[in-house]
């Protein structure tokens, strides 16, 4: 990415809750923000891109083809550089990034604002996670 990642928002898939993963994110000054259960509207961009991937890419290729990595690389380039996205005002993601570069903080600024004391290791069980937050 041409900019520092400040936070990662995910669904509550167990793969995101490994303590090693969360500690690594903390080392990199990246906030981990899982969405509450049954909140697909908070993960809408991911849901939408997965639908587009299924309809526009996977429907057109053989996943077992020997050149699938090349096909994926071409799709990724097309998706990020050429395909227009209504959610980005009809721009491609690279155009959107370029438009925002002047407003995007540098990594040093992001790290300086990151407060490790405000971060915690999240647990996958939402009720337990919320109860632990209340204990603080």
* Domain edges within the chain: 7-135
91 bridge partner residues: 85
Average pLDDT, integer, range 85-97: 91
Closest by CA position to 123, among listed 134, 114, 111, 132: 132
| DSSP one-letter string for 69-131 | HHHHHHHHHIIIIIS-BGGGTTB-HHHHHHHHGGGSPPHHHHHHH--GGG-----SSHHHHHH
Tell me which of 3.40.50.620, 3.30.420.10, 3.50.50.60, 1.20.810.10 is the CATH number of domain 7-135: 3.30.420.10
Tell me the pTM. Answer: 0.74
Query: pLDDT grade, residue 40 (50/70/90)?
Result: confident
Average pLDDT, integer, range 91-110: 90
The token pair at 34 is 């899982």
pLDDT score of 53: 96
């Amino acid at each position: 990415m041409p900019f520092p990642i400040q936070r990662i928002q995910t669904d509550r898939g167990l793969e995101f809750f490994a303590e090693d993963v969360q500690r690594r994110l903390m080392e990199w000054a990246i906030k981990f923000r899982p969405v509450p259960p049954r909140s697909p509207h908070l993960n809408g961009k991911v849901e939408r891109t997965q639908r587009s991937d299924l309809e526009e890419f996977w429907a057109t290729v053989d996943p077992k083809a020997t050149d699938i990595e090349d096909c994926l690389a071409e799709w990724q380039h097309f998706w990020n550089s050429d395909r227009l996205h209504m959610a980005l005002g009809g721009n491609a993601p690279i155009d959107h990034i370029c438009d925002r570069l002047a407003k995007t903080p540098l990594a040093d600024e992001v790290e300086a604002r990151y407060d490790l004391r405000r971060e915690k290791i999240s647990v996958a069980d939402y009720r337990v996670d919320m109860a632990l937050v209340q204990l603080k």
